[in-house]
């Protein structure tokens, strides 16, 4: 399949099930909500090294937030249930509690699984904290030097999908980056997804394990490294000199499919040779995103 002259590989992205929470951060101004959200989602690119994956989902207008102030919606994902609770407590406690004027609310009120966040952070109040139950939900008021930090006691947790991806194979590094930036711009408005890597883009895709060290659980994906073309069993077609990957996590497979369709569509431009995806032969995760099925609805795609 081709889209604007770019070959769409007949393969699939393989993704796995994660646990996800949606954190709504509000503040007096959008700037301070963003400051807290950027810190909260910092160092959260991959569960391999960061224990969680997190990203900004979107900005929220005052009418969309529980307290009528501007806000930011963040998704945080982990592999296990207990991990998610721990990561939220650590990150909200260190990055939102500390940030001027912020408050923190649950963004998945309908999720049946509830994990404690405010119920743990309240101990920072050293006995001076107070709570209120409003419409069946408990909120903690934790006194801080600025005034009060308001945080919801429990946050919803649901199953999500992590590791959706596609690779942009381009003639040059510049062309790969231009295409990746266009893809990220097209995917950013999509609801229910995050792109956890820097700017949404990964340059260091990995393979499982290592040739040299048993301790390494992941190492460079040498088959896609252009500088190793002659030294390894390369997967790069002729003329490809740079590869960038987009990783997408989402609340569900549908959200990832929609985002991938928008992203791949935008990435198919001059200088890009093909689009492919990373998988492990179907052994890693239950979610398979077949590129050609996803792009079949594109009117510009052809055989």
Partner 1 sequence: MSTLRLTLREPPAQRVDLSPLSADHLAGKTPAQVAAIELATGNRKIRVDDLFTIAGDFGSELEIRGGCEKLDRIGAGMTHGHVIVRGDAGAYVGAGMRGGVVEVHGSVGARAACAMRGGVLHVTADAGDFLASALAGERRGMRGGTVVVGGNAGDRVGDRMRRGMVLIEGDAGDYCASRMVAGTIAVAGRVGGFPGLAMRRGTLLLLQPPAALVATFNDCGEHPNLFLTLLVRSWRTLPGRFGTLPDGRLRARRYMGDLGNDGRGEILVWV
Per DSSP, what are the bridge partners of residue 141? 130, 150
Contact string 101-120 vs partner 1 (x = CB under 8 A): --x-----------------
Out of 48, 61, 130, 208, the only residue in the binding site for partner 1 (CB under 8 A) is: 130
- Of 111, 74, 73, 81, the closest CA to residue 19 belongs to 81
DSSP structural state of residue 92: I
**Residue number, 90 or 137, with CB nearest to partner 1:** 137
CA dist 199 to 18, 78, 107, 140, 274, Å? 22, 20, 23, 34, 21
**Residue number, 150 or 244, with CB nearest to partner 1:** 150
How far is it, in rounded angstroms, from Cα 234 to Cα 275?
16
The alpha carbon dihedral of 255, 261, 262, 267 has a sign of positive
Out of 31, 81, 132, 211, the only residue in the binding site for partner 1 (CB under 8 A) is: 132
DSSP structural state of residue 196: -
Out of 63, 135, 213, 233, the only residue in the binding site for partner 1 (CB under 8 A) is: 135
For residue 34, the minimal CB distance to partner 1 (Å) is 18
For residue 254, the minimal CB distance to partner 1 (Å) is 32
Q: Which two tokens stand for residue 81?
A: 């249930």
- The two beta strands, 147-152 and 103-106, are parallel
Out of 42, 49, 147, 282, the only residue in the binding site for partner 1 (CB under 8 A) is: 147
Is the separation of the CB atoms in 194 and 75 below 8 Å? yes
Out of 5, 42, 68, 286, the only residue in the binding site for partner 1 (CB under 8 A) is: 68
For partner 1 (CB under 8 A), the number of binding residues is 16
Under the binding rule (CB under 8 A), the answer on residue 63 touching partner 1 is no
Under the binding rule (CB under 8 A), the answer on residue 67 touching partner 1 is yes
Out of 56, 72, 120, 150, the only residue in the binding site for partner 1 (CB under 8 A) is: 150
**Residue number, 147 or 254, with CB nearest to partner 1:** 147
**Residue number, 29 or 293, with CB nearest to partner 1:** 29
Count H helices and E strands in the chain, helices first. Answer: 7, 19
How far is it, in rounded angstroms, from Cα 112 to Cα 109?
8
How far is it, in rounded angstroms, from Cα 32 to Cα 214?
44
**Residue number, 100 or 226, with CB nearest to partner 1:** 100
Under the binding rule (CB under 8 A), the answer on residue 48 touching partner 1 is no
Is the separation of the CB atoms in 149 and 97 below 8 Å? yes
**Residue number, 105 or 224, with CB nearest to partner 1:** 105
How far is it, in rounded angstroms, from Cα 32 to Cα 103?
11
DSSP 235-281: -PPTT--EEEEEEEEESSHHHHHHHHHHHHHHH-STTEEEEE----T
Out of 139, 155, 166, 224, the only residue in the binding site for partner 1 (CB under 8 A) is: 139
Under the binding rule (CB under 8 A), the answer on residue 157 touching partner 1 is no
For residue 258, the minimal CB distance to partner 1 (Å) is 32
Q: Which two tokens stand for residue 38?
A: 């950027």
Interface segment toward partner 1; rule CB under 8 A; list 140-148, 167-175, 242-250, 290-298: 140-148
Interface segment toward partner 1; rule CB under 8 A; list 3-11, 64-72, 216-224, 228-236: 64-72
Residues of this chain that interact with partner 1 (CB under 8 A) are 66-68, 103, 127-128, 130, 132-135, 139, 141, 147-148, 150
């Amino acid at each position: 399949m081709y889209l604007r002259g770019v070959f769409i590989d007949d393969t699939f992205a393989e993704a796995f099930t994660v646990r996800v929470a949606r954190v709504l951060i509000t503040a007096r101004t959008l700037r301070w909500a963003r400051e807290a959200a950027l810190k909260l989602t910092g160092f959260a690119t991959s569960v391999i090294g960061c224990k969680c994956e997190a990203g900004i989902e979107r900005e929220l207008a005052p009418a969309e937030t529980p307290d009528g102030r501007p806000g930011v919606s963040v998704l945080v994902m982990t592999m296990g249930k207990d991990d998610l609770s721990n990561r939220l407590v650590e990150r909200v406690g260190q990055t939102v509690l500390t940030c001027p004027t912020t408050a923190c609310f649950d963004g998945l009120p309908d999720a049946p699984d509830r994990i404690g966040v405010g119920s743990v952070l309240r101990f920072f109040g050293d006995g001076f904290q107070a709570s209120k139950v409003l419409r069946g939900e408990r909120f903690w008021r934790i006194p801080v030097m600025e005034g009060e930090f308001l945080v919801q006691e429990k946050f919803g947790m649901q199953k999500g999908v992590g590791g959706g991806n596609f690779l942009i194979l381009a003639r040059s590094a510049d062309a790969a980056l231009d295409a990746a930036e266009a893809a990220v711009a097209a995917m950013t408005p999509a609801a229910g997804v995050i792109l956890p890597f820097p700017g949404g883009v990964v340059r260091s895709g990995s393979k499982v394990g290592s040739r040299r060290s048993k301790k390494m659980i992941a190492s460079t994906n040498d088959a896609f490294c252009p500088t190793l073309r002659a030294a390894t069993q390369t997967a790069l077609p002729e003329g490809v000199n740079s590869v960038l990957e987009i990783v997408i996590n989402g609340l569900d497979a549908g959200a990832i499919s929609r985002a991938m369709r928008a992203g791949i569509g935008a990435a198919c431009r001059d200088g890009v040779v093909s689009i492919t995806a990373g998988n492990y032969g179907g052994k890693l995760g239950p979610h398979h995103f077949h590129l050609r099925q996803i792009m079949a609805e594109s009117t510009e795609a052809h055989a």
